[in-house]
Structure 1
């Protein structure tokens, strides 16, 4: 049915794969998208242009951090996120080894930064310094060893492990600091909100539980998109020859929809953005500043943002819905 449908719609035949402005390929990876079939100035045009989403979301995140005064570590994280997108843009446009390193190693460095933000919170200066030295040493080791091995599996495994560690740690921190039944006595005592009255405390606890529920929705949604990107990336690698055959059968521009690595960029870029925004929101809760900020996330088809509250508007943090006062 799909084949007969595409046979009836106008399309442009795929040109043959050829050399281009940045030939020859020097990277250790050459993805499933055929090289220089659209323009001689970009080896993999879909894989190149889908990184524009990274750049847009990074700019949005940087602007939010500067405008609303989020912790500096998240501003740096968004700058790292921008570097990931820019490096990937240049890598897929040129398929040059130096650009491959910029793309892949910036992923490692940004994830190490998020590990520092997560594990250093609330710790002593000595602990934070030792953690920073340890993570910098780890990043240097991964850089040197990866350049020596030039094995993509090593990079992918290192990135996956670092991502899993920071995500699980952030989930743990969220639960033990926000869920009322898990909060320590020290955390309760440090809470500046009035909690001497049982009724007031019950209302605040209920509010925290609603917010926690929304946080888990963010995590589930963002993680599902991120892992879905990994699945599409895997299928693109495993069934590349079949996908090329299908793309050539249906022609341009419809064949672009079967560029799995491009979908990986869109999906993992969105999932990573959700994680950083969640981290910002969680940090404000950990700093007892949740009443100063609000999450704006009207629905699943929009990207969230954490903004400083104003006197003219109010957002129900449990639902992310803005209301005029």
Structure 2
């Protein structure tokens, strides 16, 4: 093991990878490189629009890339402050996703209330986690956010995507993304996070007319094709 460029480890978590096995500048080489997948998927998402996204759409993709930047910094240095940034960046991604889901078609008053509650909760988590080194609140709120996204995204697809084939494909990739996230390693969680951003952004900002899955980043189009089955019939409208 080479001498660390960053000095002694101050983070309280260390994973099974041997530290500084490749270079003195990167503590956990594989974990650092695999974290870059978040940035790659975020850039792909940003560049996939005809016009550069703004507002809440831009925030989601920046949140995805932020997770990759902070995670890479943490695994590269194994410092306490980079560990805190890594863990807090998770909330900077999940909180806007939750906000977009639960404020969809809500009244302006309800939207403002939910935004205030989520902002206050994020601030509380940030302060207690960084200042008081309190881990449980961070873990519970993050897991709750992931659960909301994983359960509400397929429901939103079922309710708001009219085309049967597109609806099936989006539900399938939502399930695939949740399954990837459950693996807990950067490549898989990056894929899961990417699919979550794609699905939430599609169903909450525009009417989904054409099937977007063939144009998404690998391996999502491949998975959508493999999971495709008989198309469910459209629900008949009462006349």
TM-score range, shorter-chain basis?
Answer: 0.7 to 0.9
After TM superposition, list the pairs within 5 Å mapping 1:268-283 onto structure 2.
Answer: 268-283=189-204
Bigger Rg, which one: 1
Deviation string, structure 1 residues 35-63 (Cα, Å, up to 9, x no partner): 11110001111111111211111111112
Corresponding residue of 2:70:
87
Counterpart CA distance in 1 for 2:168 and 2:77 is 44
After TM superposition, list the pairs within 5 Å mapping 1:260-275 onto structure 2.
Answer: 264-275=185-196
Deviation string, structure 1 residues 83-116 (Cα, Å, up to 9, x no partner): 1100011111111111111111010121111111
* SS state at 1:121 partner: coil
After superposition, the Cα gap between the structure-2 partners of 1:99 and 1:270, relative to the gap in structure 1 and judged at 3 Å, is same
Does residue 47 (structure 1) correspond to residue 47 (structure 2)? The answer is no
Larger proportion of strand: 1
Equivalent residues of 1:28, 1:150 under 8 A apart:
no
Counterpart CA distance in 2 for 1:298 and 1:56 is 15
Equivalent residues of 1:21, 1:40 under 8 A apart:
yes
Corresponding residue of 1:211:
166
Corresponding residue of 1:290:
208
* SS state at 2:48 partner: helix
Q: Unpaired segments of 5 or more residues in structure 2?
A: 222-227, 230-239
Corresponding residue of 2:48:
64
Shift of residue 68 of structure 1? 4.7
Equivalent residues of 2:63, 2:89 under 8 A apart:
yes
Moved more, 43-52 or 273-282: 273-282
Shift of residue 164 of structure 1? 0.3
After TM superposition, list the pairs within 5 Å mapping 1:222-261 onto structure 2.
Answer: 222-227=177-182, 229-230=183-184
Which of 157, 163, 173 is matched with 1:174 structurally? Answer: 157
Q: Unpaired segments of 5 or more residues in structure 1?
A: 1-16, 179-204, 231-263, 305-317, 320-325
Corresponding residue of 2:236:
none
